[in-house]
Amino acid sequence: ASNYSFSSDFLFGASTSAYQIEGAWNESGRGESIWDYQIHNDPRSIRDLNNADIACDSYHKYKEDVRLLKELGAGLYRFSVSWSRIYPDGFPHNPNQEGLAYYSNLIDALLAENIVPVLTIYHWDLPERLQEFGGWTNSSIVELYTEYARILLDNYSDRVKYWVTFNEPFLICTEGYGGPLFAPRVNQSGIADYQCAHNLIKSHAAVYHLFNNTYRSKNNAKMGIVFVAEGHTAGSSSAQDIEAAERSKQFKIGLFANPIFGKDGDYPKVMRDLVAKKSAEEGFSKSRLPEFTPDEIKYIKGTSDFFGANHYTTKLSKYSAPVKGVTSYTNDMEAELSFDPSWPKDPLNRFAIVPWGFREVLVWIKNTYNNPEVHITENGSPDSGGLEDNVRVTFIGLYLEALLQAINEDKVNIRSYSVWTLMDNFSWVRGYSNRLGLYQVNMSDPNRPRTAKLSAKFYKEVIANRVVGDYP
């Protein structure tokens, strides 16, 4: 237990995402997303051969979800909107009124229980039709995303206090457009296609300016963005590894955070220099990393009211010499990431449990981006889903204690903490084999019943008492 407590205005919550919980994939006018398309055409791309056609069936059971949040005493709920439930083919025409009504009803149900809605505009589920035009690698996505965000702002900015433009741009771009697993899985050779990052950052800035100019005043809301905020600690005390740890954070967090939160904006200098050098060696006529014009740098800088941090684990970062002739994001980074074998892991052996690494990366964010307002938008630990989730209780206890140290000793400006996730849901390529919920969902029961695990009871106590209770 820690001798610190959470202030009365600190918000506790839980996060989910549309594709992972809603189901009703083709009901009430929803169009096909890149994940529907991938899974329906290649079921083997999901490790347990499952799909999210029904998932937690939250499209029909959202009132029950709100009841779970109320039971926890949650102060906020972070959820995402499915673009293809609003504009079925992604293009801004014939908005789907049933889709607009679903999220309006969810927001009203939350407000009725004094739960603050945190709306994520994009959490990975691009309408498939837009991917046929290249998706995030086609610069026309900027305008399409802006029009999608506009209709959400028109409909919900009277009630939504916190807006998030994107969830984990790092995974959207380096996995979706540079890896073999995540939809849409183009560039499977790992070609570092920074075009996705370039268009995504411009999309974010365009929507922030739209929000700031036209919608913010409606109820003094805030808009931000949510990043993968994985910890990277030097694999040894050598100068090379200490530099590798900084460089890998600049590549993994800074790629998206520096243009928005950085003192001078633009991509991190270490990235611009390294990718330009490699691109020349590879025979490219110019750097694979696109350039922002001076006006774009100014337009993008400062376009966020808060820094959303998703944190699961920490890795050792060690210098890794670039391999000639390989064009990939990790090769550009010149660092290899690994878990120290002495660190404890979750029961599925997916993440190392390193609470001091959480504190370390929060201090790095504070120092690197001039002490922004920080929200912990995801933090959790996977297992195979039993009700006696003692490891998850211990994980949350340890990480909340690290959070209290970051707030009270390092003075990091952290305003909220949300567990990933409210209930067991579709964990992308891991299907339902990874369970991260505070509530168990029985996926073989058509009613998808939710049952509180030990961690829900533990978290409820933390929220009620504002201190971290004893844990196993």
Scan residues 306-345 and list those touching ligand GCO (CB under 6 A): 310
Closer residue to ligand GCO (CB): 17 or 416: 17
| Neighbour-count burial of 6, counting CB atoms closer than 10 A to its CB (0-12 exposed, 13-18 middle, 19+ buried) | buried
Instruction: Tell me how far, at minimum, the Cβ of 355 lies from ligand GCO, in Å.
Output: 17
Closer residue to ligand GCO (CB): 296 or 378: 378
Pick one of 38, 167, 187, 418: the residue that binds ligand GCO (CB under 6 A): 167
For the stretch 59-65, contacts whose Cβ atoms lie closer than 8 Å and that sit 24 or more positions apart, written own/partner, are 59/22, 59/23, 59/24, 59/27, 59/28, 59/102, 60/23, 60/24, 61/448, 62/102, 62/105, 62/106, 62/109, 63/109, 64/450, 65/16, 65/21, 65/422, 65/423, 65/450
Q: Is the dihedral of CA 55, 451, 401, 355 positive or negative?
A: negative
Instruction: Tell me how far, at minimum, the Cβ of 20 lies from ligand GCO, in Å.
Output: 6
Instruction: Tell me how far, at minimum, the Cβ of 277 lies from ligand GCO, in Å.
Output: 32
Query: How many other CB atoms are there within 10 angstroms of residue 299's CB atom?
Result: 18
Instruction: Tell me how far, at minimum, the Cβ of 354 lies from ligand GCO, in Å.
Output: 16
Pick one of 122, 319, 428, 458: the residue that binds ligand GCO (CB under 6 A): 428
Which of these ranges, 204-212, 257-265, 354-362, 427-435, lies near ligand GCO under the rule CB under 6 A?
A: 427-435
Pick one of 427, 435, 448, 456: the residue that binds ligand GCO (CB under 6 A): 427
Closer residue to ligand GCO (CB): 319 or 399: 399
Which of these ranges, 200-208, 290-298, 338-346, 425-433, lies near ligand GCO under the rule CB under 6 A?
A: 425-433
Closer residue to ligand GCO (CB): 79 or 319: 79
Instruction: Tell me how far, at minimum, the Cβ of 427 lies from ligand GCO, in Å.
Output: 3
Scan residues 19-38 and list those touching ligand GCO (CB under 6 A): 20
Instruction: Tell me how far, at minimum, the Cβ of 257 lies from ligand GCO, in Å.
Output: 16
Pick one of 168, 193, 334, 360: the residue that binds ligand GCO (CB under 6 A): 168
Instruction: Tell me how far, at minimum, the Cβ of 264 lies from ligand GCO, in Å.
Output: 29
Pick one of 12, 13, 14, 17: the residue that binds ligand GCO (CB under 6 A): 17
Closer residue to ligand GCO (CB): 55 or 205: 55
Token code pair at residue 22: 């809603």
Closer residue to ligand GCO (CB): 81 or 275: 81
Residue 304 near ligand GCO by CB under 6 A = no
Which of these ranges, 88-96, 200-208, 247-255, 423-431, lies near ligand GCO under the rule CB under 6 A?
A: 423-431
Instruction: Tell me how far, at minimum, the Cβ of 345 lies from ligand GCO, in Å.
Output: 14
Residue 375 near ligand GCO by CB under 6 A = no
Pick one of 207, 225, 436, 463: the residue that binds ligand GCO (CB under 6 A): 436
Residue closest to ligand GCO when measured from CB atoms: 427
Catalytic residues: 168, 378
Which of these ranges, 180-188, 269-277, 324-332, 428-436, lies near ligand GCO under the rule CB under 6 A?
A: 428-436
HSE-CB at 109 with a 13 A cutoff on CA atoms is 17
Applying CB under 6 A, the site for ligand GCO has a residue count of 12
Pick one of 252, 318, 392, 430: the residue that binds ligand GCO (CB under 6 A): 430
> In terms of Cα–Cα distance, which of 104, 203, 218 is closest to 148?
203
Instruction: Tell me how far, at minimum, the Cβ of 12 lies from ligand GCO, in Å.
Output: 18
User: What is the C-alpha separation between 121 and 137, in angstroms, rounded?
Assistant: 18
Residue 12 · residue 416 · CB < 8 Å: yes
Residue 172 near ligand GCO by CB under 6 A = no
Closer residue to ligand GCO (CB): 149 or 436: 436
Closer residue to ligand GCO (CB): 17 or 279: 17
Site residues (vs ligand GCO, CB under 6 A): 17, 20, 167-168, 310, 378, 420, 427-428, 430, 434, 436
